[in-house]
Amino acid sequence: MTFQLQPGERLDDLQVNSYRIIQSHQVFSFSLDAVLLAHYVSLRNRDRVIDLGTGNGVIPLLLAARSSAERGEIVGLEIQERLADMARRNVEGNGLQQMIRIVHGDTREAVQTFGNESFDLVVCNPPYRPAGVGDQSLNDHVKIAKHEITCTLEQAVAAAAGLVRYEGKVAFVHRPDRLADLIATMRAQKLEPKRMMLVHPRPDKRPNILLIEAIKGGRPELRIDPPLIVHQEDGSYSKEILDIYAGRGGLVRG
């Protein structure tokens, strides 16, 4: 595998399938949120998948690691040209060009770009904070990744609803304090939440990550999966998290 690195970039071990990933301190690097979403989402052979706001392409890479020879196309859509280029180089470096396609484009225009109901599965790790909230000293790359500057939650959900086929699935990772907003927005777009999991940093801490999966046109019935604990009381990773990084799953999937 050959990776083309630009100044300020490094090559990290993704710890799955011998994949490696280009990252940079100058842009937003992936976190546990993306790893958990890629493991939680229901994925079937031959599904056509799109990741909205793919960043450096980590979720498509992780989904490809779950794939078989019958895997359908995985598309990563990214509005920031620098990150889209990084994602393309990550795909090429890992030899996944036949499975993953990276597109430089705007989530808000995704339906026009790809066509209505053109995917079986849509995944999204959107910016968590409204524009103007939090640290305003961040560089533009990180600010766009963390704040709803180029795409609001409502716009991301609307794009997902337009892209997914009837009875197809949409999965988001977000903050638990946005749960009410997320469910209300999904239902307004005919996306019915069906599965949900809360992730706690430690057993005695409140959850800080929300995983949720909806079905377009589904009937109301939300299943709450058992909570996931990231760290044990002594600070070490839980068995479930270690299993995920070892490629053995660890999250409930329907």
The range of the structural domain enclosing residue 92 comes to 10-245
Per-residue pLDDT tens, the chain, 254 aa: give them: 789 999 999 999 988 888 999 999 888 788 899 999 999 999 998 899 999 999 999 999 999 998 655 578 999 999 999 999 999 999 999 999 999 999 999 999 999 999 999 999 999 999 866 655 555 445 555 545 554 557 899 999 999 999 999 999 999 999 999 999 999 999 999 999 999 999 999 999 999 999 999 999 999 999 999 999 999 999 999 999 988 877 655 444 43
> Has residue 82 been placed in a domain?
yes
Question: Model pTM?
Answer: 0.90
Find the CATH number of the domain harbouring 62.
Answer: 3.40.50.150
Distance of CA 29 to the CA centre of its chain: 13
> Has residue 148 been placed in a domain?
yes
> Has residue 5 been placed in a domain?
no
Cα separation of 24 and 20, whole Å?
A: 13
Overall number of domains in the chain: 1
pLDDT of residue 148: 54
> pLDDT tens digits, residue range 76-122?
999 999 999 999 999 999 999 999 999 999 999 999 999 999 999 99
Strands (E), 105-252: 119-124, 129-130, 147-148, 164-174, 191-200, 209-216, 223-224, 228-229
pLDDT of residue 149: 59
> Has residue 187 been placed in a domain?
yes
Cα separation of 162 and 124, whole Å?
A: 14
pLDDT of residue 132: 56
How many CB atoms neighbour CB 163 within 10 A?
A: 28
Count of positions (residues) in the chain: 254
> Has residue 145 been placed in a domain?
yes
> Has residue 3 been placed in a domain?
no
